[in-house]
Amino acid sequence: MADLVVFDLDGTIADTRLDLAGAVNYMRGTMQLEPLQTERIVKMVGNGMSNLVRRAVADVEIDCEEALRRMKRYYADHLLDTTCLYPDVAQGLEELHSKGVRIALVSNKPASACQNILDGLKIGAFFDAVVGGDDLYPLKPEPDSLLALAEKFAVPAKNCWIVGDHYTDLEAGRRAGFRRVFVTYGFGEARDEKPDFTAGSFAEFMMIIRGF
């Protein structure tokens, strides 16, 4: 089995769509803008909260920094209104942890939000490291955070995996030399990236990784 597995959060570990959309539309409402449909907002997710906000207000001229502050304040209090784990995630993480696999999370979402979501969903104890978009590293698809984790745990890249639902995860993994698993149940897209494996569920991912 792998020595280090790095997971994305949104669309991989947890279904965060409704809470993210709610935060975007709250922000738009405070700026006298009409709400956007959830699926439209979901397509904007994947490159960090700042980019999400810029895309969500691209139809008007507005102070994006103020919009970001409003969204962050609201989202911090509504991280877990509807957010939930995808099926079999808790059991899968427990199995990896019990077998001594190092488990990390790398998200373009702020680190405190990531940790609060993991703890709120009662899986925080399984993670050996949590890296957010406001940490020292550039956002995915840059590979810096992955390489730093491999170095931190003294694991060669060939024994590291990244699991995600977005091309940013796959590109970061490719550039870091990790094995890459694309999960199709999330809300991202692979674009031109060619993952090593594709999984339609977390249980299917676990079946794949058990073979290594």
Can 77 be counted among the known catalytic residues? Answer: no
Distance CA(141)–CA(116), nearest Å, equals: 23
46 pLDDT more than 80: no
Q: Which two tokens stand for residue 105?
A: 């999370």
Task: Tell me the pTM.
Answer: 0.95
Residues 148-180: tens digit of each pLDDT? 999 999 999 999 999 999 999 999 999 999 999
Average pLDDT along the chain:
96
Residues 96-110: tens digit of each pLDDT? 999 999 999 999 999
**Look-up: residue for tokens 């942890």?**
97
Residue 48 is predicted with a pLDDT of: 84
1 pLDDT more than 80: no
Catalytic residue among 8, 10, 19, 165: 8
